[in-house]
Chains A and B, each alone.
Chain A
Amino acid sequence: MLAPYCEGATAEEPVVRLGHEAADWWAAQGVEVQHHGSLVVTLARDRRELDQFARRTTGHRLVTGADLAKLEPHVADRHDPRCGSKMRPISTRARRWRICARSSKTAARGSRKRTPHQAAPELAP
Protein backbone atom coordinates (compact mmCIF):
# COMPACT_ATOMS: atom_id res chain seq x y z
CA MET A 1 0.00 0.00 0.00
CA LEU A 2 1.29 3.41 -0.99
CA ALA A 3 -0.92 6.11 0.50
CA PRO A 4 0.86 9.47 0.49
CA TYR A 5 -2.37 11.46 0.74
CA CYS A 6 -3.61 9.50 3.74
CA GLU A 7 -0.23 9.70 5.43
CA GLY A 8 -0.55 13.48 5.38
CA ALA A 9 -3.01 13.20 8.27
CA THR A 10 -0.16 12.48 10.66
CA ALA A 11 3.15 12.67 8.77
CA GLU A 12 5.36 15.66 8.00
CA GLU A 13 5.05 17.41 4.64
CA PRO A 14 8.12 15.77 3.02
CA VAL A 15 6.53 12.33 3.46
CA VAL A 16 3.55 13.34 1.34
CA ARG A 17 5.57 15.22 -1.29
CA LEU A 18 8.39 12.69 -1.66
CA GLY A 19 5.94 9.83 -1.31
CA HIS A 20 4.26 10.84 -4.53
CA GLU A 21 7.31 9.61 -6.44
CA ALA A 22 6.87 6.11 -5.14
CA ALA A 23 4.06 4.60 -7.22
CA ASP A 24 5.62 5.49 -10.58
CA TRP A 25 9.06 4.38 -9.42
CA TRP A 26 7.88 0.97 -8.26
CA ALA A 27 5.85 0.55 -11.46
CA ALA A 28 8.98 1.33 -13.48
CA GLN A 29 10.76 -1.53 -11.67
CA GLY A 30 8.13 -3.97 -12.86
CA VAL A 31 5.98 -4.01 -9.72
CA GLU A 32 2.27 -4.18 -10.42
CA VAL A 33 0.80 -0.96 -9.04
CA GLN A 34 -2.94 -0.46 -8.89
CA HIS A 35 -4.49 2.97 -8.37
CA HIS A 36 -7.70 2.50 -6.45
CA GLY A 37 -7.25 5.08 -3.71
CA SER A 38 -8.17 4.37 -0.11
CA LEU A 39 -11.51 4.34 1.58
CA VAL A 40 -11.46 6.16 4.91
CA VAL A 41 -14.25 5.39 7.33
CA THR A 42 -15.08 6.06 10.94
CA LEU A 43 -17.60 4.82 13.40
CA ALA A 44 -20.62 7.12 13.58
CA ARG A 45 -19.78 8.27 17.11
CA ASP A 46 -16.32 9.38 15.91
CA ARG A 47 -17.56 11.50 13.04
CA ARG A 48 -15.31 14.39 14.12
CA GLU A 49 -12.28 12.23 13.45
CA LEU A 50 -13.30 12.08 9.81
CA ASP A 51 -13.68 15.85 9.62
CA GLN A 52 -10.28 16.29 11.21
CA PHE A 53 -8.74 13.81 8.80
CA ALA A 54 -10.28 15.70 5.87
CA ARG A 55 -8.86 19.00 7.09
CA ARG A 56 -5.36 17.60 7.39
CA THR A 57 -5.27 15.93 3.98
CA THR A 58 -5.99 16.72 0.34
CA GLY A 59 -7.25 14.86 -2.68
CA HIS A 60 -10.37 13.33 -1.19
CA ARG A 61 -14.09 13.46 -1.63
CA LEU A 62 -17.03 12.49 0.48
CA VAL A 63 -18.76 9.28 -0.42
CA THR A 64 -22.44 8.90 0.30
CA GLY A 65 -24.27 5.63 0.77
CA ALA A 66 -25.03 4.92 -2.89
CA ASP A 67 -21.48 5.74 -4.02
CA LEU A 68 -20.07 3.64 -1.23
CA ALA A 69 -22.19 0.68 -2.19
CA LYS A 70 -20.71 0.82 -5.69
CA LEU A 71 -17.13 1.14 -4.44
CA GLU A 72 -17.08 -1.30 -1.56
CA PRO A 73 -20.33 -3.20 -1.12
CA HIS A 74 -19.04 -5.15 1.88
CA VAL A 75 -18.26 -1.96 3.75
CA ALA A 76 -21.48 -0.26 2.64
CA ASP A 77 -23.46 -3.04 4.31
CA ARG A 78 -22.31 -1.65 7.63
CA HIS A 79 -23.03 1.97 6.86
CA ASP A 80 -26.12 4.02 7.18
CA PRO A 81 -26.87 5.34 3.68
CA ARG A 82 -28.37 8.47 5.18
CA CYS A 83 -25.17 9.48 6.94
CA GLY A 84 -23.46 11.02 3.98
CA SER A 85 -26.30 13.22 2.85
CA LYS A 86 -25.77 15.69 5.66
CA MET A 87 -22.08 16.11 4.89
CA ARG A 88 -20.68 18.49 2.35
CA PRO A 89 -18.84 16.69 -0.45
CA ILE A 90 -15.11 17.27 -0.58
CA SER A 91 -13.28 17.70 -3.86
CA THR A 92 -11.84 14.73 -5.67
CA ARG A 93 -8.38 14.31 -7.02
CA ALA A 94 -8.16 12.06 -10.01
CA ARG A 95 -6.11 8.89 -10.12
CA ARG A 96 -4.96 8.53 -6.53
CA TRP A 97 -7.98 9.97 -4.91
CA ARG A 98 -9.15 9.11 -1.51
CA ILE A 99 -12.63 8.79 -0.27
CA CYS A 100 -14.20 9.72 2.99
CA ALA A 101 -17.15 7.80 4.20
CA ARG A 102 -19.03 7.52 7.43
CA SER A 103 -20.18 4.45 9.18
CA SER A 104 -23.40 3.69 10.97
CA LYS A 105 -24.12 3.06 14.61
CA THR A 106 -24.55 -0.57 13.67
CA ALA A 107 -20.86 -0.75 12.95
CA ALA A 108 -20.06 0.92 16.26
CA ARG A 109 -21.46 -2.03 18.18
CA GLY A 110 -18.71 -4.28 16.91
CA SER A 111 -15.87 -2.39 18.55
CA ARG A 112 -15.84 -1.85 22.26
CA LYS A 113 -12.14 -1.62 22.95
CA ARG A 114 -11.03 1.78 24.13
CA THR A 115 -7.34 1.46 24.81
CA PRO A 116 -5.30 4.35 23.40
CA HIS A 117 -3.65 3.26 20.22
CA GLN A 118 -2.34 4.65 16.99
CA ALA A 119 -2.33 2.93 13.66
CA ALA A 120 0.84 2.75 11.65
CA PRO A 121 0.35 2.12 7.97
CA GLU A 122 2.82 -0.37 6.64
CA LEU A 123 3.56 0.15 3.01
CA ALA A 124 3.85 -2.62 0.54
CA PRO A 125 3.66 -2.51 -3.23
Chain B
Amino acid sequence: MIDCRGLAAQDALKDLRGVKGEMIVLRSRDVTLTRPVRLLHPRFPLYIVPRGDGIFMLGATQIESGERGRASARSVMELLSAAYALSPAFGEAEVIEIGADARPAFPDNLPRITRKGDTLHVNGLFRHGFLLSPAVARQVAGLVLRDNERPELYHEDHA
Protein backbone atom coordinates (compact mmCIF):
# COMPACT_ATOMS: atom_id res chain seq x y z
CA MET B 1 0.00 0.00 0.00
CA ILE B 2 1.20 3.52 -0.75
CA ASP B 3 -0.05 6.09 1.74
CA CYS B 4 -0.10 9.61 0.25
CA ARG B 5 -2.66 11.18 2.59
CA GLY B 6 -0.70 14.34 3.26
CA LEU B 7 -1.39 15.93 6.63
CA ALA B 8 -4.09 13.35 7.39
CA ALA B 9 -1.29 10.80 7.85
CA GLN B 10 -0.15 12.42 11.10
CA ASP B 11 -1.62 9.38 12.86
CA ALA B 12 1.13 7.28 11.28
CA LEU B 13 3.95 9.83 10.88
CA LYS B 14 4.79 11.45 14.19
CA ASP B 15 7.25 14.00 12.73
CA LEU B 16 4.74 15.34 10.24
CA ARG B 17 3.50 18.86 11.01
CA GLY B 18 1.22 21.37 9.36
CA VAL B 19 2.38 24.71 7.94
CA LYS B 20 -0.53 26.97 7.28
CA GLY B 21 -0.76 28.82 3.98
CA GLU B 22 -3.27 31.46 2.99
CA MET B 23 -3.94 32.69 -0.52
CA ILE B 24 -6.26 35.01 -2.38
CA VAL B 25 -7.59 34.85 -5.93
CA LEU B 26 -8.35 38.15 -7.63
CA ARG B 27 -9.89 39.14 -10.93
CA SER B 28 -8.64 42.30 -12.59
CA ARG B 29 -8.98 43.53 -16.15
CA ASP B 30 -6.63 46.42 -15.44
CA VAL B 31 -3.46 44.45 -14.73
CA THR B 32 -1.55 42.27 -17.16
CA LEU B 33 1.33 40.03 -16.13
CA THR B 34 2.94 37.42 -18.36
CA ARG B 35 4.95 35.64 -15.66
CA PRO B 36 4.84 35.12 -11.88
CA VAL B 37 6.12 38.10 -9.92
CA ARG B 38 7.77 37.71 -6.52
CA LEU B 39 7.94 40.63 -4.18
CA LEU B 40 10.79 40.28 -1.71
CA HIS B 41 10.50 42.07 1.56
CA PRO B 42 12.18 41.38 4.92
CA ARG B 43 8.83 40.98 6.61
CA PHE B 44 6.54 40.05 3.80
CA PRO B 45 7.57 38.28 0.59
CA LEU B 46 4.74 37.50 -1.81
CA TYR B 47 4.14 36.13 -5.26
CA ILE B 48 1.46 36.83 -7.81
CA VAL B 49 0.72 34.18 -10.41
CA PRO B 50 -1.21 35.24 -13.52
CA ARG B 51 -3.63 32.48 -14.47
CA GLY B 52 -5.01 34.11 -17.57
CA ASP B 53 -8.38 35.75 -18.25
CA GLY B 54 -7.66 38.40 -15.64
CA ILE B 55 -7.29 35.89 -12.80
CA PHE B 56 -4.40 36.31 -10.36
CA MET B 57 -3.42 34.18 -7.41
CA LEU B 58 -1.69 35.89 -4.49
CA GLY B 59 0.22 33.63 -2.21
CA ALA B 60 1.03 32.67 0.28
CA THR B 61 1.59 32.93 3.95
CA GLN B 62 3.63 30.37 5.83
CA ILE B 63 2.64 29.97 9.44
CA GLU B 64 3.62 27.20 11.81
CA SER B 65 0.14 25.88 12.42
CA GLY B 66 -1.80 22.82 11.40
CA GLU B 67 -5.01 24.82 11.34
CA ARG B 68 -6.98 24.40 8.13
CA GLY B 69 -9.56 26.53 6.42
CA ARG B 70 -9.42 29.79 8.33
CA ALA B 71 -7.72 32.78 6.74
CA SER B 72 -6.88 35.49 9.27
CA ALA B 73 -7.76 39.14 8.70
CA ARG B 74 -4.09 40.07 9.13
CA SER B 75 -2.93 37.66 6.44
CA VAL B 76 -5.58 38.80 3.98
CA MET B 77 -4.72 42.44 4.68
CA GLU B 78 -1.02 41.82 4.18
CA LEU B 79 -1.44 39.86 0.95
CA LEU B 80 -3.67 42.55 -0.51
CA SER B 81 -1.39 45.36 0.67
CA ALA B 82 1.59 43.80 -1.06
CA ALA B 83 -0.37 43.30 -4.29
CA TYR B 84 -1.45 46.91 -4.10
CA ALA B 85 2.18 47.96 -3.65
CA LEU B 86 3.10 46.07 -6.80
CA SER B 87 0.33 47.66 -8.80
CA PRO B 88 -2.33 50.03 -7.44
CA ALA B 89 -4.72 48.65 -10.05
CA PHE B 90 -5.09 45.59 -7.82
CA GLY B 91 -6.98 47.88 -5.46
CA GLU B 92 -9.92 47.71 -7.86
CA ALA B 93 -9.73 43.95 -8.35
CA GLU B 94 -12.57 41.62 -7.45
CA VAL B 95 -11.85 39.17 -4.64
CA ILE B 96 -12.89 35.77 -5.96
CA GLU B 97 -11.53 33.44 -3.35
CA ILE B 98 -9.76 33.48 0.00
CA GLY B 99 -8.21 30.12 0.76
CA ALA B 100 -6.39 28.60 3.71
CA ASP B 101 -5.03 25.14 4.34
CA ALA B 102 -2.08 23.41 5.97
CA ARG B 103 0.84 21.85 4.09
CA PRO B 104 2.35 18.58 5.30
CA ALA B 105 6.01 19.01 6.26
CA PHE B 106 8.74 17.11 8.07
CA PRO B 107 11.27 18.94 10.26
CA ASP B 108 13.71 19.48 7.35
CA ASN B 109 10.88 20.45 4.98
CA LEU B 110 11.94 17.74 2.54
CA PRO B 111 9.75 14.86 1.31
CA ARG B 112 10.21 11.41 2.82
CA ILE B 113 9.49 7.92 1.60
CA THR B 114 9.15 5.69 4.65
CA ARG B 115 8.39 1.97 4.80
CA LYS B 116 6.33 0.61 7.69
CA GLY B 117 5.37 -3.01 7.24
CA ASP B 118 3.57 -3.34 3.92
CA THR B 119 2.94 0.38 3.64
CA LEU B 120 5.05 2.98 1.90
CA HIS B 121 4.41 6.40 3.39
CA VAL B 122 5.03 9.18 0.88
CA ASN B 123 4.63 12.57 2.44
CA GLY B 124 6.08 15.93 3.44
CA LEU B 125 6.10 17.68 0.09
CA PHE B 126 5.51 20.93 1.98
CA ARG B 127 4.93 23.82 -0.42
CA HIS B 128 6.49 21.92 -3.31
CA GLY B 129 3.71 19.55 -4.28
CA PHE B 130 3.65 20.12 -8.02
CA LEU B 131 7.38 20.80 -8.14
CA LEU B 132 8.52 17.62 -6.40
CA SER B 133 5.75 15.08 -7.02
CA PRO B 134 7.27 13.87 -10.34
CA ALA B 135 10.62 13.11 -8.68
CA VAL B 136 9.00 11.61 -5.59
CA ALA B 137 6.71 9.42 -7.71
CA ARG B 138 9.67 8.25 -9.78
CA GLN B 139 11.51 7.21 -6.63
CA VAL B 140 8.47 5.43 -5.21
CA ALA B 141 8.01 3.57 -8.49
CA GLY B 142 11.66 2.52 -8.40
CA LEU B 143 11.17 1.18 -4.91
CA VAL B 144 7.99 -0.71 -5.73
CA LEU B 145 9.43 -2.21 -8.91
CA ARG B 146 12.71 -2.99 -7.13
CA ASP B 147 14.73 -0.93 -9.62
CA ASN B 148 16.12 1.18 -6.82
CA GLU B 149 15.77 -0.11 -3.26
CA ARG B 150 17.33 2.98 -1.66
CA PRO B 151 16.07 6.09 -3.44
CA GLU B 152 17.40 9.47 -2.34
CA LEU B 153 14.28 10.44 -0.42
CA TYR B 154 14.00 7.08 1.37
CA HIS B 155 13.88 7.69 5.08
CA GLU B 156 14.85 4.98 7.53
CA ASP B 157 12.16 4.76 10.19
CA HIS B 158 13.66 4.08 13.60
CA ALA B 159 10.49 4.73 15.54
Q: Which residues of A are interface residues toward B (Cβ below 8 A)?
A: 1-4, 6-7, 11-12, 14-15, 18-19, 21-22, 25-26, 36-43, 46, 49-50, 53, 71-75, 77-78, 107-125
A40 B84 Cβ-Cβ under 8 A: no
Q: Point out the residue from B33, B41, B59, B87 that lies within 8 Å of A120, measured CB to CB.
A: B59
B127 A123 Cβ-Cβ under 8 A: yes
The CA of A107 and the CA of B39, in the complex, are separated in Å by 11
Contacts of B36 in A (CB 8 A): 1, 3, 36, 38-39
Chain B's nearest CB lies how many Å from the CB of A21? 5
Contacts of A1 in B (CB 8 A): 36, 47, 49
Chain A proximity mask over B106-136: 1 for CB below 8 Å, otherwise 0: 0011100000000000000001111111111
Q: Point out the residue from B62, B87, B133, B138 that lies within 8 Å of A119, measured CB to CB.
A: B62
Contacts of B57 in A (CB 8 A): 122, 124
Decide yes or no whether B156 CB sits under 8 A from chain A: no
Q: Point out the residue from B23, B38, B89 that lies within 8 Å of A38, measured CB to CB.
A: B38
Q: Point out the residue from B31, B42, B74, B131 that lies within 8 Å of A123, measured CB to CB.
A: B131
Chain A proximity mask over B22-61: 1 for CB below 8 Å, otherwise 0: 0100000001111111111111111101000000010111
Binding stretch for chain A, among B10-18, B75-83, B142-150: B75-83
Chain B's nearest CB lies how many Å from the CB of A13? 10
